[in-house]
Amino acid sequence: MLNAIRQFAKEEEGASAVEYAILLGIMGVAVAALVIPLGTAVGTSLTNATNSITTSQGS
């Protein structure tokens, strides 16, 4: 088993489809982890802006 891991690490051929799939999965998780809080922050900012506009028009 250890020899198989060493051989795999030394292999210098191009990336296989499995490696691309793993990379794509990691990137997908990273994007989702960033987009969700960003969406929440944008929503909060828009709500605050709306409330400010409404308040300033009422006075």
Q: Residues 20, 26, 30, 33: what is their CA dihedral angle, to the nearest 10 degrees?
A: 140
Q: What's the pTM?
A: 0.50
Going residue by residue through the chain (59 aa), what tens digit of pLDDT does each one get?
A: 878 777 777 766 666 888 888 999 999 999 999 999 999 999 999 999 999 999 988 75
Q: Which two tokens stand for residue 24?
A: 């794509």
Measured in degrees and rounded to the nearest 5, phi and psi for residue 16 equal -90, 175
